Amino acid sequence: MNRIVARADQALQAHDLCDHCLGRLFAHVDTGMTNAERGRNMRIAVSLERSARSEELPAHEECWVCEEIFDDLERFANACIAELSKIEYRTFLVGTKVSPDIQDREERLWAEVGGDDAEPIKAELNREIGKLIEALTQKEVEFKNPDAVTLVDTRFGHVEMTITPLFIYGRYNKFSREIPQTKWPCRVCRGKGCERCHGLGKMYSTSVQEILGDIALEMAEGTDHFFHGMGREDIDAKMLGTGRPFILEISNPKKRSIDLNILEAKANESENASYSDLRFSNKDEVRKIKSAAPDKTYSAVVSFHDKVNKGLVDEVLQSLNQVCITQQTPVRVSHRRADLARKRHIREIHLVDFSEDGMVLEITAESGTYIKEFVSGDGGRTVPSISEKLGTDCKVTALDVIQILDNIHEV
């Protein structure tokens, strides 16, 4: 007797199995058919073998493993469709929960007749329910990045739906020195609203995130928004040039096909920030954005404590071109960052304007360089510094990021 047929015969001698559960034992033996089709073929083959031995195969009544759960596939599919109909989606994925008793019996069957070629019952349920939903809705199953995932509890027919966040890539410019990149909860009330924050629950009235995010949230009918920037500038620094790349994340969006041209136009009515290059994105690109560390070019307006000779300035700036500096965590951020010494490279420094009382510099530096401290020295925590080299205290009175040197407008 064929080895596969012998195993099927052994399984059917021990237990009454439906075609799905019988066929699933041999799911990885061949392809091109469903488990139910495979099970029917196995049942016929076993019946023929038994007939040759003058034996009969008993009629199937109720499956010992699944208790005929596959009779409810259409009911499960319709329950999923009812949940999915509450949102706009193009792709979906199905997951299932099954009774622990069913899983235990399946594993017992594998132990008795071998399970090396078998497929778990949940895998088949997921696939077969998904196929029914595809046929009924003309939507597509997507394994990597579905718009929504439905989880069917097959014990009760209950469905839970998880909506994949909506991700929007773009670049922003910030023109205000009084707003942060992201929403900043009030330090006193932690977002509840208090006298310090005038009941707003946040330190600043708005942010780059909120100007765009609040509009996108309303358009997508989501529940919250999150902002993933390629780094961030200080609150009192402008972000100029071609802008800083970011991805806006909208959680639980009921609508996905929002008009990004309308979103961009509405957000750009703000005087504090502008947005460009908006397009739909995904979670993988969020990781790329967050891990990117491009060089940046800054414009720094610097004041001198004492009058300084231009010849000395030229000499100092030349000595600091392409230099490696050591920066201890600045005093101004030491309350929220570990006190570490970091090596950073100054790529280029150019003198844009000069007077005896101050100057304007254009500085290109490695990502993570503290420009204000490179100028001031931060009490000796940055070495070397412009203040140290010039022999007088220097202070950045205005700082702008004028270019993120990521070289591309899309990550």
pLDDT along the chain (411 residues), means of 10: 88 96 93 93 94 90 97 97 98 98 97 94 98 97 96 96 98 97 84 78 89 98 98 96 97 98 98 98 95 96 95 96 95 84 96 95 97 96 96 97 78 40
* DSSP label of 185: B
Per the annotation, the verdict on 234 as an active-site residue is yes
Nearest Cα to Cα of residue 45 among 19, 70, 15, 16: 19
Tokens of 26: 């041999």
> Residue 214 and residue 380: Cα distance in Å, rounded?
43
Burial class (CB in 10 A: 0-12, 13-18, 19+), 221: middle
Other CB atoms within a 10 A radius of the CB of residue 83 amount to 17
What is the CATH T-level fold of the domain 166-291, as seen in this structure? Alpha-Beta Plaits (3.30.70)
Residue 314, SS3? helix
Distance CA 376, CA 354 (A): 17
Q: For residue range 23-37, list pLDDT tens digits in order.
A: 999 999 877 899 999
Domains of the chain by residue range: 3-163, 166-291, 296-404
Question: Fold match between 166-291 and 296-404?
Answer: yes
Residue type at 353 in one-letter notation: D
Task: Please answer whether residues 245 and 171 qualify as being in contact, where contact means their C-beta atoms are separated by less than 8 angstroms.
Answer: yes
CATH of 296-404, one of 2.60.120.10, 3.30.70.3190, 3.30.930.10, 2.60.40.1730: 3.30.70.3190
Could you give the percent of the chain with pLDDT greater than 70? 99
Q: Which candidate in 16, 214, 234, 295 is catalytic?
A: 234
Taking the alpha carbons of 8, 9, 13, 16 in that order, is the dihedral positive or negative? positive
pLDDT digits (tens, 9 = 90+) for 284-335: 999 999 999 999 999 999 999 999 999 999 999 999 999 999 999 998 888 7
Whether 345 contacts 321, CB under 8 Å: no
Please state the pTM of the whole predicted model. Answer: 0.88
Asked if 212 contacts 257 with a C-beta cutoff of 8 angstroms, the reply is no
Nearest to 315 by CA among 246, 209, 262, 391: 391
CA angle (61, 63, 68) in 5-degree steps? 95
